[in-house]
Amino acid sequence: MSQTGGGSHSLAFRVMRLCRPSFNVDPPLRLHPSDLFVGEDIFDDPLAASSLPPLLSPTTSSPSPDPNYRHRFLLHHSSDAMGLSALLVLPQSFGAIYLGETFCSYISINNSSTFEVREVIIKAEIQTERQRILLLDTSKSPVETIRAGGRYDFIVEHDVKELGPHTLVCTALYNDGDGERKYLPQFFKFIVANPLSVRTKVRVIKETTFLEACIENHTKSNLFMDQVDFEPAQSYTSTILKGDGHHSKRESLIRETFKPPILIRSGGGIYNYLYQLKSSTGSSAQSKVEGSNVLGKLQITWRTNLGEPGRLQTQQILGTPTTKKEIELQVVEVPSIINLQRPFVLKLSLTNQIDRELGPFEVSLSENESYVERVVMINGLQSMFVPQVAALGSTEFQLNLIATKTGIQRISGITVFDSKEMKSYEPLPDLEIFVNMD
Amino acid sequence: MESSSPRSESQMDPLSTPSFSTLNDLCHDLTSLQDLANRGAWRSVIDKVSRARALNLLQNPHDHLTYLAYNALAFAKLRRFNEASAELDSMEDLDSHHYRYETYPKVYPNRTGSMVPFSLRWLHALLPIKLGHRNQGVDRLYTLLDFVRDKIRDKEKNNLEHSVQIWKKREVFVVNCIIGNHLSHKEFTVCLSLLNELLSRDSLDLLLVSQLGYVQLQIGDLEGAKVSFSKVEDMVEEAKKGNGNGSLLLNEIEMMNLVNRNKALVYLVGKDYVSAVREYEECIERDGSDVVALNNKALCLMYLRDLSDSIKVLENALETVPTMALNETLVVNLCSMYELAYVNHSDIKRTLSNWIARVAPDDFDATCTRTTSLQTLLWTVNDRRSSSKKLSSKKLPHHQLSKPTAHLQNFLNILVDEKRIDLQKAIAKEYEFVYSTIIDTELAMVKLESQHWA
C-alpha cells in the first residue's frame, strides 16, 4: 500500500501525560574558592585570614570572561550545594496511575501536511470495561480550520474511579486538503492500579468500640497522608486517638515551621490509625440493632508529588454483629449476709425484650461443665418454673440457693430454658458472693 | 603569567607575600586556571595541568596540590569519574605528613597545618557516588562531616577565629551535600530532619527556609510549605525595613524575587497557573536573568494549554541570557515541549543541539536534548473495525502488520537521522510483545522509557 495514498493522515495526535511537575534535584559540582585555591588550614595564619578573603571573593577575581559560566563552578550561597533551586521539570515518563487520582493529559492535534484541514470535529473519551466517559467533543462547534503546520491543543482531566485497563480514545473527523472527509482514531492505553490497602480490627471494650485501621502503600512514591477521617454511621460518634510521639526539645523549638508529617513509604510502607467510637444515643439497649453492626467508613486523602491529590473511601466497616437478645435475665437482690450451709434467696428478674409473649420458662443451674465441684447449689427443686411473660413485660422470681464452702464463691450457670420453644439461653454471668462461717 | 622564580635555599615562604595581592601569589598561574574554570573550559584546564606537570612548572608542594584539585575537578565536571578517581588515588592518604606545611620548613618557615585543598576531601567522598557506589560515598560524606566538626573544635580550642568561621562554612556545605544526596533518593524524612538541624542553628537563612518549603511541597505537605514561605516573607519584610539580620547574603532584588517565586509555587500547586505566571513575570521584570522564574513560567503556560508561548519563553531565555539560561533542566523541558508540539521534531531539536554545541561550556551534559524522545507513541494497528465506519467512499487500505504504517516509517526515519537505528531490534521486540497481547483490538501503546536510549 502506498504510504502517501489515502492511508496517510494530515493530522496526528500528540499526547503527553500532564501530572504535576517535580522539583529538579541535582547537587551540583560547585564549591567555594577557599576550598580550591588554598590549603584547608591556611586561615590559621592571621595574615592570610585578613588578606585572603577579598582575593577569594568571586566579584574581585578577574573581570567576567565571556562566556561567563562562573555560576556552574562557584557557589553563590552554601545551600546551592543541595541542588534544590526550585527549578521545575516536566514529567519525563508516563509513570503509574492509581485509583483515586486524576488523569490529566495535554493533547495536541498537529497538521503536519502542507495543506489546510477544515471542519475538524475532535472527540476525546475514556473507555473502561464498564463505561465510556466523554471528555471533549467539538461536534457542536467544530474547529473551522487548522493551517498547514498548525496545531489545536486541549487538556483533558478525568478522575480515575475504576481499576484495570483504561483507554484514552482520541478521534478527529476532518476535511483534508482534497476535500475528503477523513476519520482519524488514535488510542492510548493505561492501567489503573490500587494504591492502598486498608486492614481493620474492631475491639469492643464495655461501651466503647475501638477501630484500628492499618494503611499500606502499594504505590511507587511516598504518600503524604493529608487526611484520614473516619466517618461514623449515624449511631456513633468517633474520635481519633493519637499517641504522644517523641518530641525532642530541638524539634519543639522549631515546631512552628515543622510539624512532623505523616509520610508512608513507597512500596509497602504502613501506618496505623486508631479511632474510638461511642454510641451516640447513649442507651445501650436502644442501640442494639438486629443484624450487622455498621460502624462507618474511612475517607482517605493523600498527596504525592507537589501536592498531586488522591482520594478514596473504604466500604462500610462492620463491627461485631449483635443479635438482639430476646430475654434479659438480671439479678435484682443478693442478701448482704450469706452463711455457710444456710439457705438464702436470690431475687432475679426476667424481661421479655421482644414484641410477642414468651415462655413458660424453667430456670435451673446448667450442667456443671468444669471439673471443679459447684459450690453454690439450688436448695430444693432443681428447676424453677416461671410462667409466661407478656410482650415487652417482665417478671420477678426467687431462687433458693445454698453455699457449701466459705469465702469468696461464685454462683454460676443460672440458665433459662424456654419450654415452649425448647431452647435455652446464655447462662447468667458468674456472680461473686462471700460466704461466712456460721 | 610566568612561573615563579627558581628556588634557592634562602627563599622566603612563597605564601607569605605581605599583601596577597593577586591570585598568582597563591599558586602558580592561578589567574589563568581560574579564568578557564569560569568559562567552563574544563578540557583546557586538563591540558594546562598536564603541560605544567610535563614542563615541571610547579615548584612548590602546594602548587601541585592545587593543580591536582583543579584536574580532579575538571575530570569530574566532564563526567570522566574514573580519571578523577585516579587523580585522587595517585595521592597518599590526605592526612599524611607529606601534605603539611611543617614538613617543608625550608619552603614554608613558620607555617603549620594541612595544605590539602578541602575540595579534595569533598571529591573523595563524592566520586564513589558518581561511580555508582552510593553507600560508600554517603559513608564518606558523613565521615567528612565528623572530620570537619573535629576541626572546628580544634580551631576553637586554639582561638583561631577566622579558621573557625571557614570550617563552620564547610560544615554547612557538607550537610547541604548530604541533604542533596538524600533528596535525590527521595529519602524525605532524613532530609527534613537534617534541614531542621541546620535551621535550628540559623533560622534566618532565607534560602534554607525556602528550601524547607520546597521539600514540604515535594512530599505534599502544602500547609507546612505555606508556613515556611510566610516565614521567608516576614523576614524579607523585616530586612526591607532595615531591621537587618545576620544572614543577609542576598541583595534586595534576590530577596524580593525569592518571595515572588515562593508565592508562585503556592499558586501553582493550587492549580492557579494564571497567578503563578503573574508572580514570575514580576521576577523577570526585576531580573531578566532569573532562570528559575523563566523556566517555571514556561511550565505554567504549558499547563494553561499555551504550548506555543511556553516554547517562546524558553527560546527567548536562551537567546537573551544564554549563559544563565543554558542549564540542563531548561533544555530538557524545552525538548519535551518540542516533542509534543511537532510531529517531526528532530529538525528543531537538531538546531537546538547545534546551538548548544557552539555556546555551552565543556561540562554541559548534551544528552539532555534526547530526553525521553517520544514519551508515548501512538500507533494504529489493525484498523479493521474502524475502517467500516469510514464516511468516505474510498476504501481505506488495510494495514497489514508486515507493511510499515506511515507513523512507523516516520519514526524509523527519525531513528536513522539520529543515528540510533540500532534501537530497531529493541523496538521490534516491544512491538511484537504488544501485538501478541492484542486480539483484534485497535490499540497499541509503546512506551519507550529513557533507559532504552542509553
> What parts of chain A have a pLDDT lower than 70?
1-7, 58-65, 244-259, 281-292, 321-324, 368-371
Q: Which three cell numbers stand for residue B133?
A: 557506589
- B29: phi then psi, degrees, rounded to nearest 5: 55, 35
Alpha-carbon A149 to chain mean position? 48
- What ranges do the domains of chain B cover? 374-454
The confidence score (pLDDT) of residue B252 equals 87
Alpha-carbon B374 to chain mean position? 24
Using an 8 Å CB-CB cutoff, list chain B residues near A10.
none
Closest residue in chain B to residue A250, using alpha carbons only: B200
Give which of B13, B16, B17, B20 to mutate to test A binding, by max A Cβ within 10 Å: B20
d(CA A23, CA A27): 12
| Spatial contact of A210 and A222, defined as CB atoms under 8 Å apart | no
* Confidence class for position B248, pLDDT limits 50, 70, 90: low
Using an 8 Å CB-CB cutoff, list chain A residues near B449.
93
- In A186-329, alpha helices (H): 249-253, 284-287
Q: Which three cell numbers stand for residue B274?
A: 494564571
Give which of B64, B100, B163 to mutate to test A binding, by max A Cβ within 10 Å: B163
Cell 517555571, residue located: B296
Taking CB atoms and an 8 Å limit, are A110 and B341 in contact across chains? yes
Closest residue in chain B to residue A19, using alpha carbons only: B303
Calculate ∠ Cα B73-B74-B79, nearest 5°: 95
The confidence score (pLDDT) of residue A51 equals 81
Q: Has residue B291 got a pLDDT over 90?
A: yes
Calculate ∠ Cα B286-B287-B292, nearest 5°: 120
* Confidence class for position B240, pLDDT limits 50, 70, 90: confident
**More confident position, B286 or B345:** B286
Q: Which of these ranges, A202-206, B48-52, B308-312, B360-364, has the smallest mean pLDDT?
A: A202-206
The residues with which A434 forms a beta bridge, in sequence order, are A408
Query: Which residue, among B245, B205, B210, B207, has the nearest Cα to B227 in the 3D structure?
Result: B210
**More confident position, B372 or A192:** A192
Cell 494553561, residue located: B304
Q: Has residue B286 got a pLDDT over 70?
A: yes
- In A138-283, alpha helices (H): 249-253
The confidence score (pLDDT) of residue B23 equals 74
SS3 (DSSP) at B135: helix
> Across residues B242-256, what is the average pLDDT?
73
Residue by residue, DSSP assigns A82-145 as G-EEEEEE---S---EETTSEEEEEEEEEE-SSS-EEEEEEEEEEE-SS-EEEEEE-SSS-EEE
Nearest by CB to residue B231, choosing from A88, A182, A257, is: A257
Taking CB atoms and an 8 Å limit, are A69 and B330 in contact across chains? no
Please enumerate in sequence order all residues whose Cβ is within 8 A of that of A334, keeping only pairs 6 or more positions apart, or say none: A346, A347, A431, A433
Residue by residue, DSSP assigns A347-394 as EEEEEE-SSS-B--EEEEEPP--SSSPPSEEESSSSEEEE--B-TT-E
Largest CA distance in chain B: 101
SS3 (DSSP) at B237: helix
CA–CA min distance A232, chain B (Å): 26
B211: amino acid identity, one letter: Q
- Full strand arrangement of the beta sheet holding A361-365: A383-386, A361-365, A414-418, A423-424
Taking CB atoms and an 8 Å limit, are A84 and B211 in contact across chains? yes
Residues in chain B: 454
Alpha-carbon B299 to chain mean position? 19
d(CA A344, CA A402): 6
Closest residue in chain A to residue B171, using alpha carbons only: A78
* Confidence class for position B442, pLDDT limits 50, 70, 90: very low
Is the minimum CB–CB distance between B245 and chain A shorter than 8 Å? no
d(CA A140, CA B350): 40
* CA dist list (Å): A256 to A15, B209, B215: 43, 12, 16
Using an 8 Å CB-CB cutoff, list chain B residues near A157.
none
Peptide bond into A67 cis (omega under 30): yes
- What is the dihedral sign for C-alpha B22, B26, B32, B34? negative
Peptide bond into A360 cis (omega under 30): yes
The confidence score (pLDDT) of residue A112 equals 87
Using an 8 Å CB-CB cutoff, list chain A residues near B403.
1
In eight-state DSSP terms, residue A389 is B
**More confident position, B243 or A279:** A279
Q: Would you tell me how many other CB atoms lie within 10 Å of the CB of residue A138?
A: 16
d(CA A8, CA A288): 71
Chain B, residues 94-113, CB within 8 A of chain A, namely 99, 101, 111-113
d(CA B247, CA B266): 24
SS3 (DSSP) at A358: strand
The confidence score (pLDDT) of residue B244 equals 58
The confidence score (pLDDT) of residue B411 equals 57
- Mean pLDDT, chain B, as a whole number? 81
Using one digit for the tens of pLDDT, what is the confidence trace for B392-404?
333 323 333 344 4
A218: amino acid identity, one letter: H
Is the minimum CB–CB distance between B417 and chain A shorter than 8 Å? no
Taking CB atoms and an 8 Å limit, are A44 and B340 in contact across chains? no
Query: Which residue, among B107, B126, B150, B12, has the nearest Cα to B69 in the 3D structure?
Result: B126
The confidence score (pLDDT) of residue B238 equals 87
CA–CA min distance A261, chain B (Å): 7
Taking CB atoms and an 8 Å limit, are A48 and B173 in contact across chains? no
Query: Which residue, among A260, A235, A240, has the nearest Cα to A248 in the 3D structure?
Result: A260
Cell 431475687, residue located: A347
Please enumerate in sequence order all residues whose Cβ is within 8 A of that of B234, keeping only pairs 6 or more positions apart, or say none: none
Question: Percent of chain B having pLDDT more than 90?
Answer: 60
- What is the dihedral sign for C-alpha B225, B228, B234, B236? negative
Our separate counts of H helices and E strands in chain B read: 20, 2
Q: What is the dihedral of CA B74, B76, B80, B86, to 10 degrees?
A: 90
Please enumerate in sequence order all residues whose Cβ is within 8 A of that of B391, keeping only pairs 6 or more positions apart, or say none: A173, A181, A183
Using one digit for the tens of pLDDT, what is the confidence trace for A378-407?
888 888 899 989 888 889 999 999 999 999
The residues with which A312 forms a beta bridge, in sequence order, are A300
The string over A377-410, giving b where at least 16 C-beta atoms fall within 10 Å of a residue's C-beta and e elsewhere, is: bbbeeeebebeebeeeeebebebebbbeebeebe
SS3 (DSSP) at B284: helix
CA–CA min distance B333, chain A (Å): 6
Query: Which residue, among B39, B250, B22, has the nearest Cα to A64 in the 3D structure?
Result: B39
H or E element that contains B225: helix B222-240
Inter-helix orientation angle B346-359/B406-417, to 10°? 20
Q: Has residue B168 got a pLDDT over 80?
A: yes
Q: Which three cell numbers stand for residue A28?
A: 551540583
Is the minimum CB–CB distance between B210 and chain A shorter than 8 Å? yes
Q: Which three cell numbers stand for residue B424?
A: 530497531
> Across residues B410-439, what is the average pLDDT?
53
